[in-house]
Amino acid sequence: PKDEDAASLRACAETILRRIGRLLYRRPLRPEELTSLLSLFEQGQSEDELGRFDAGLRLPLEALLLSPH
């Protein structure tokens, strides 16, 4: 996504995380899991100098891949 507002970027991240989470956990993400992952997305994006979308996805994707679920 290019030149989009924060709500659009968050919605796009939510879609990506829901899909990947379902594949990795072999079940839909629980609401609290998704909330936690979206918080990591916002943290990762805010820590990046340019606030890039892909930088925001790094932390929640790491969390999903390292999870024992």
Average pLDDT, the chain: 91
For residue 49, pLDDT over 90 is answered with no
Report the pLDDT value the prediction gives residue 29, as an integer from 0 to 100: 96
The tens digit of pLDDT for each residue in 2-14 reads 556 888 999 999 9
Q: What is the mean pLDDT of residues 23-39?
A: 96
Question: Around Cβ 34, how many Cβ atoms within 10 Å?
Answer: 16
For residue 34, pLDDT over 90 is answered with yes
